[in-house]
């Protein structure tokens, strides 16, 4: 009874666990500073840069395979997917900032949001609205239907995030850092299978309202050829940016945001200021979940297909984006997401490789960031205390 370790903070008795992770981190740091890595880094850097320059030269100067129209198309699709990555990446970064763990089930939280959007649109389509000709709720009030679908998707994912933390991570708050990570992977597999059993393994088509028909869009003529600026894409991109800006203001300017940052910096002192640390962590998961939910609904609207595995790849890509920008760093996740979307979309063309290798390209970026700059583009080197 009354064991002080049941409290939200780590009393000194738990230090041995912390020390273990500390030595692991130190070993990693020692490895990164080792002679082998010191030698490997510049060699690898030169080889990779030479290869990239060589390929870019071949594609852009020698062959000139693609015109400006193709590049614009690729840029557009890169920005759209990048916005979605950013939204999901924010969830990784917020949770990492406050708990120093990677929430590997975050992609699944997004997947449930995508399903919520899918079923909302289905339901709206069934509700009949009398008129001439008779129509349905989805097309009679498309804007309201879209707003409702997003609210439902965000609520479902926020709830998932809340319970995910409560069930899978909170009981392990005092455990060594590897333990919640394994729990996260377990939660991810569990949620995928739960979704498969609940919604069947079938791929589902999302029914968009007519004003957001997939494939339709504004046409711009570049180089004498038509480039389509899809409605769904523009909608997705603008909404992502609005949500990102909203989140940034929330974290920077609001009282909740300050409490979140204070909790991330120092839980014990935050508690001494009267911050309820547990509820702040819960709220962080709720916010992350809501953003992932919005990303899921967007994914459904723009890509059109939803199935139980739909969150996995975007989840891992967004994790890559968060690492690329500097995990724990909010603007980093935003920039990282957009950058990854663009690289993934334009990279294969620019390097003259198969378009199907775009995933390989993303994960190569992850490996290179971890090798050359583990703190990411905008991240700072972690202090001893945080490690």
The footprint of another protein (CB under 8 A) covers: 1-9, 11-13, 255, 258-259, 261-262, 265-266, 268-276
| Smallest distance from another protein to CB 178, Å | 21
**125 to each of 12, 43, 138, 300, 335, how far by Cα in Å?**
58, 58, 5, 15, 37
Q: Which residues contact 22 (CB under 8 A, 6 or more apart)?
A: 387
Closest approach of another protein to the CB of residue 13, in Å: 4
Contacts of 236 (CB under 8 A, 6+ apart): 80, 83, 84, 298, 301, 302
Q: Toward another protein, which CB reaches closer, 131 or 274?
A: 274
Nearer to another protein, 185 or 272 (CB): 272
Residues whose CB falls within 8 Å of the CB of residue 155, separated by 6 or more in sequence, listed in order:
116, 290, 293
Identify the burial level of 98 via C-beta atoms within 10 angstroms of its C-beta, where 0-12 means exposed, 13-18 middle and 19 or more buried. Answer: buried
| CB nearer another protein, residue 331 or residue 352 | 331
CB of 276 to another protein, least distance (A): 5
Which one, 12 or 35, has the nearer CB to another protein? 12
3-state secondary structure (DSSP) of residue 109: helix
Q: Are 336 and 328 in contact (CB under 8 A)?
A: no
DSSP state of 380: P
Q: Which is nearer to another protein, 87 or 275 (CB)?
A: 275
- SS3 letters for 215-258? CCEEEEEECCEEEEEEHHHHHHHHHHHHHHHHHHHHHHHCHHHH
Q: How far is the CB of 91 from another protein (least distance, A)?
A: 21
Q: Between 99 and 306, whose beta carbon lies closer to another protein?
A: 99
Q: Which is nearer to another protein, 2 or 33 (CB)?
A: 2
Label residues 348-376 b or e (16+ Cβ within 10 Å = b).
bbbbbeeeeebeebbeebbeebeeeebbb
Minimum distance from residue 255 beta carbon to another protein (Å): 7
User: Smallest distance from the beta carbon of 275 to another protein, in angstroms?
Assistant: 6
Q: Which is nearer to another protein, 3 or 132 (CB)?
A: 3
Classified as helix, coil or strand, 205 is strand
Query: Whole-number minimum distance, CB 162 to another protein, in Å?
Result: 20
Give the gyration radius of the chain's Cα atoms: 23
CB 14, min distance to another protein, A: 8
């Amino acid at each position: 009874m009354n064991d002080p370790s049941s409290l939200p903070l780590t009393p000194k008795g738990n230090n041995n666990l912390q020390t273990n992770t500390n030595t692991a981190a130190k070993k990693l740091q020692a490895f990164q500073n080792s002679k082998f890595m010191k030698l490997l880094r510049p060699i690898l850097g030169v080889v990779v840069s030479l290869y990239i320059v060589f390929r870019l030269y071949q594609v852009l100067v020698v062959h000139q395979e693609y015109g400006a129209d193709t590049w614009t198309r690729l840029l557009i699709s890169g920005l759209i997917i990048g916005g979605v990555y950013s939204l999901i990446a924010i969830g990784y970064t917020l949770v990492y900032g406050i708990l120093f763990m990677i929430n590997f089930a975050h992609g699944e939280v997004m997947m449930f949001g995508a399903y919520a959007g899918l079923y909302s649109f289905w339901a709206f389509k069934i509700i009949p609205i009398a008129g001439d000709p008779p129509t349905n709720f989805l097309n009679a009030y498309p804007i309201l239907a879209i707003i409702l679908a997003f609210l439902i998707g965000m609520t479902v994912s926020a709830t998932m995030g809340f319970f995910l933390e409560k069930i899978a991570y909170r009981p392990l708050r005092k455990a060594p850092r590897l333990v919640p990570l394994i729990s996260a992977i377990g939660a991810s597999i569990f949620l995928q299978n739960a979704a498969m059993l609940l919604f069947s393994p079938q791929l589902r088509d999302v029914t968009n309202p007519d004003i957001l028909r997939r494939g339709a869009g504004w046409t711009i003529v570049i180089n004498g050829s038509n480039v389509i600026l899809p409605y769904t894409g523009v909608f997705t991109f603008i909404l992502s940016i609005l949500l990102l800006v909203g989140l940034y203001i929330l974290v920077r300017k609001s009282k909740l945001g300050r409490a979140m940052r204070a909790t991330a910096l120092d839980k014990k002192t935050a508690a001494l200021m009267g911050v309820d640390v547990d509820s702040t962590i819960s709220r962080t998961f709720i916010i992350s979940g809501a953003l992932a939910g919005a990303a899921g609904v967007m994914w459904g609207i723009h890509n059109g297909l939803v199935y139980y595995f739909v969150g996995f790849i975007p989840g891992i890509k967004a994790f890559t984006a968060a690492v690329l920008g500097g995990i724990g760093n909010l603007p980093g996740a935003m920039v990282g997401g957009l950058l990854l979307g663009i690289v993934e979309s334009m990279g294969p063309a620019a390097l003259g490789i198969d378009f199907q290798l775009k995933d390989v390209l993303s994960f190569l970026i992850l490996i290179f960031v971890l090798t050359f700059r583990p703190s990411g583009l905008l991240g700072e080197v972690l202090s001893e205390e945080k490690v």
